[in-house]
Amino acid sequence: MKDRFSMEQEIMAVWGMCEDLDTLLEGVLERDMTKDDIANALLGLKVMHQLKSEKLFDTFEQLIHNGRIL
């Protein structure tokens, strides 16, 4: 069963996307990335952010439903 610590870990995973964006920015600035490479990386990050956000919201809803948070 999920608890507030699960939700905290999922929040941190969503915030971790900032590190992924920093890595992409470094790649854009310091490597010879094509527009296709950049677009593919951004699309992948977008999908991952959506999935992580949905997982976090599902956990939030479950905790509210179970009365574990108010």
User: What are the pLDDT digits (tens) for 3-26?
Assistant: 999 999 999 999 999 999 999 999
pLDDT tens column, 23-42? 999 999 999 899 999 999 99
The pTM assigned to this predicted structure is: 0.85
**Rounded-to-integer distance, Cα 37 and Cα 14, Å:** 23
Tally the domains of the chain.
1
The answer to whether position 70 is within a domain reads: no
The residue with tokens 């995973």 is 13
Q: List the structure tokens of 3.
A: 């608890």
The answer to whether position 55 is within a domain reads: yes
User: Positive or negative CA dihedral for 3, 51, 61, 70?
Assistant: positive
**Rounded-to-integer distance, Cα 46 and Cα 52, Å:** 10
Residue type, 9: Q
Residue type, 66: N
Domain coverage including residue 40: 4-65
